[in-house]
Structure 1
């Protein structure tokens, strides 16, 4: 329902990107309606690793990753998975993904990711400062660990990060366990990221933001979106038609299907991510820990120890594969000093990351329909980049400068 005298917006998608965008638009004076087919925060936002991965400036498609992909795929506990039944459907996307490993495209992706990542923490702090949610974001630091005694990879990685002015410190042997007593002695060395931040529980954070949105007069409608008409500013749902001055598409892995109705076809793949949460192990670690070799992350949260991993192409409809949870259990047992929490009941989850071949999100206005703006496709960085993406959307819809050039993220780049 449009409100006289105020600009109105419908935000489609109530994950972390959609909810932060709805709040940012409210702060600019918009009357905002938030739409989703399921309750807020229950998509990919629910199960992420819970830390702001601002060091991830490399796209997923690089020459090195393509070289390592067969070995990682053949490893029964490896981080890359492609169910045979999905091969034929994923092949066109995989071809685009391999082309994105060209040096010039890798550099463009790095620049685009860095522009968002370097502004990410500041945007989050602005969003929640002075609210009851401020304590949910803390400077925890991050450890990237190796079990091999070869320091070459860690030193090379530190040099690459120095290019982006990201501080790291190399810890070896006993210094690793002194910094993180919860880790097994199997860890030989680690890079410490002292300036990394985490949230205490991503779902609780999204719910807190959503409740703030509602208290400030925002409207939430739980309904499946069937059709959008960006020329008229209307959204047709299973329960009726809504109209606004602006439509903002933040529907994650489902966004490309709605955008296709407008003539823009995005090569988006639903990358399936898995997690285990050990409710009795929330104090097993002091800060998030990632394994460079096993390629998974463990994060202590208020809900327990969250263990996240896998890059699996399987679409939106296939059921979770139980062996993925077994692999996360296996990797965690290899790195934790105290493995007893693994024998206790634990929670499992699988969600869909919206991933594009060049690892950059879509952020920008539709070239033919200026009333439609899109913000989706953040792959592994949805939580990290949500608040800065929200600021960019709100600034653009308000006719203000956002300080970030949107050309790398334009929807028509494909």
Structure 2
């Protein structure tokens, strides 16, 4: 096995590759590179799967094809921000730093740009589940993925037309959704009958049984196939004519190629090679209720409260918030309290004092147009990128890995990579 720091002949398909970032995107990319004959070293400042990948809701949100920045979002942004239990948070102490990103976010809402973002999301999301099936079947872990179905719920009967209109809109994109209420809702999700008026049921939706267990399965397969893992911080990238040098806190390492999958930490690494991307760290919170408290049969999303609850092997997980607060602020206590209030409103049995809960906060990598970067460096073709999948990192991880490794290997990708180019900014 090739040791880290030793390059092979330039251009060799069996050359050395560093994957920077051991979240779910980096793990999928490392495995895909191994499948294509590369000798792979995975590098991360944390243990594999312990970043944003650890705290997600666990379901593949392929129905989320709307970019975050649209005219509708901008019109409702102020009310969402000012609402005490609302889904949008902009900490005042960080507001001056986020203003340039917000300006780009507003520009991304232009109809032409929003349409391009939507098309890019549709392409990735349609390919997401088949890519995951290929990845998991290859490592003998197909049981990690299951067809769970998903419910988008409304509590107010006055919002029935909203559900009908949303279902009609999704049908234009060949996304099946069934409007359910009454007996059909009770059949699908009996725990919600007392609190929910109606819902859209997505019968083809899939979820993973436990996000962290998924990452562990991916990492175990990577190591079993000869992969090397280094728990180090990468400080800078130094491209050369015949390889890539990575400056880490433990010294310099040299590889034939490198792929940056470092999520919200990718921005500084790209700056070290002359690229500025408007990447922001969107802080996501979750509250996990012990397994005995779970009464849900499917992942659910609240259309009114803007959060998700998902039944996992470890218990019931509530995930929410778009908090644009950077990488260094501490978690805000009131976010967990809001998640608790939302969860108890839908499932009153969670209000019992004996229900055990755990809290978590992580950083999602978010770009103004809601599309990831999946590309190679414009001047250094040995340096590639796969990051910025915002709320859809788990959903799009396997297909992002296939695309970026295709680019690295000089093969035609399954999808047109143009919407995800790093130079679009």
- Answer whether TM exceeds 0.5 for this pair: yes
Q: Quote the offset at 1:184 in angstroms.
A: 4.6
* Partner residue in 2 for 1:279: 290
Change (3 A) 1:79 1:127: same
RMSD of equivalent CA atoms: 1.3
* Partner residue in 2 for 1:270: 281
Deviation per CA, 1:45-96: give whole Å up to 9, x if none. Answer: 0000100000111100011111111111111111101111111011111111
Q: Quote the offset at 1:308 in angstroms.
A: 0.2
* Partner residue in 1 for 2:192: 183
**2:225 aligned residue (198, 213, 216):** 216
* Partner residue in 2 for 1:379: 390
Which range is displaced more, 152-161 or 349-358? 152-161
* Partner residue in 1 for 2:209: 200
* Partner residue in 1 for 2:80: 72
Which range is displaced more, 191-200 or 230-239? 230-239
Aligned pair 1:44/2:52, yes or no?
yes
Which range is displaced more, 280-289 or 249-258? 280-289
* Partner residue in 2 for 1:162: 171
* Partner residue in 2 for 1:99: 107
Deviation per CA, 1:97-119: give whole Å up to 9, x if none. Answer: 01111000000000001111000
Q: Quote the offset at 1:7 in angstroms.
A: 1.5
Find the aligned partners of 1:230 and 1:160 in 2 and give their Cα distance.
46
Q: Is contact 1:60–1:358 with CA below 8 Å preserved after alignment?
A: yes
Which range is displaced more, 189-198 or 73-82? 73-82
Q: Is contact 2:7–2:254 with CA below 8 Å preserved after alignment?
A: no
Find the aligned partners of 1:78 and 1:282 in 2 and give their Cα distance.
25
Q: Quote the offset at 1:389 in angstroms.
A: 0.6
- Describe how 1:105-144 pairs up with structure 2 within 5 A: 105-129=113-137, 131-144=139-152
Q: Quote the offset at 1:283 in angstroms.
A: 3.8
* Partner residue in 2 for 1:25: 33
Deviation per CA, 1:302-353: give whole Å up to 9, x if none. Answer: 0100100000011100000010000000001111153356742211000000
3-state SS in 2 of match to 1:129: helix
Change (3 A) 1:260 1:117: same
Which range is displaced more, 239-248 or 324-333? 239-248
Q: Is contact 1:177–1:185 with CA below 8 Å preserved after alignment?
A: no
**1:350 aligned residue (339, 357, 361):** 361
TM-score scaled to structure 2, two decimals? 0.95
Q: Is contact 1:96–1:357 with CA below 8 Å preserved after alignment?
A: yes
* Partner residue in 1 for 2:63: 55
**1:390 aligned residue (401, 408, 416):** 401
**2:93 aligned residue (77, 85, 91):** 85
Divergent runs of 4+, >4 A: 340-343
Which range is displaced more, 329-338 or 102-111? 329-338
Q: Quote the offset at 1:173 in angstroms.
A: 2.9
